[in-house]
Amino acid sequence: MELNDAAGRPVRRLVAGLVQRAWKWVRDTGMITAGTPAGRRFGAFGAGSSIAFPPGTIFGEPWIRIGEDTLVGAEITLSAGMVPGLELGPEPVVEIGSGCTIGRGSHIVGHKRIEIGDNVFTGPYVYVTDQNHAYTDPQTPIGRQWPIDEPVRIGSGSWLGAGAVVLPGTTLGRNCVVAAGAVVRGEYGDHCVLAGAPAKVVRRWDPGAGWQPPLRGRQAERAAAEAALLAAAADDGAVRAVPLTAPDAADAPLNGSRARPPR
């Protein structure tokens, strides 16, 4: 038995290698980019952007716009309109900015207006929608009542953790954090940290006092260390000193160019 297993190992390794290379070729070839037929169906599909293979449900592409250098994970649901083939007017329904990363298995389901700013990152399985069921008539099944549409806006630089849900009528300011599993609805200013279901603000940035409540543990240590390094570099004239405890530190000019978070 051991001899047979030993004899079969090289064959299994060969087959495994062939399967893995074939799957990589399928994924690379099936990826949606600006130059592919699927990419050209979109209202806009920026250079350097891609939707990984295999995608999930995608329809209403003429009313979906994607900026440059945006990465969308596999098994995504990305839709505009109730069903495929509808005429939705001259304006885009779903707009995703440049430099974004949308996690695998996420759902962005638009009917009226969903606007996602630049450099927004999400974890996997995030759900964003601008439509919800109505239940005003107690005699009519909820699924048969006319739904309610309210626009959604997610500000540039924000981060949405895995499994977060963004409901109709939500406006998030710039550089907001939404914790994993949070259910968000309402209007929130810049630099808020939201957690819970329903989500509540658990931390925010104050220009005079910094983060309130203050950062703790490793976050605070890292912020202090980065601020010290940046200040030392500024003394040498290499960069302009910007305290990295500030939420806009990622946008600080470095040697005349704009810094960008690594991918």
Q: Which residues have a catalytic role annotated?
A: 133
Contact 193, 176 (CB under 8 A): yes
| Alpha carbon distance 100, 49 (integer Å) | 9
Tell me the two tokens of residue 38: 């699927």
- 30 C-beta neighbours (distance < 10 Å), count: 15
* Amino acid at position 92, single letter: P
Q: By 3-state DSSP, what share of the chain in percent is helix, strand and coil, each rounded to 5?
A: 25, 25, 50
* Amino acid at position 201, single letter: V
Q: Specify the DSSP element, H or E, that contains 217.
A: helix 217-235
Contact 251, 244 (CB under 8 A): no
Instruction: Measure the N-to-C terminal CA separation of the chain; round to a whole number of Å.
Output: 48
* Helix/strand/coil for 14: helix
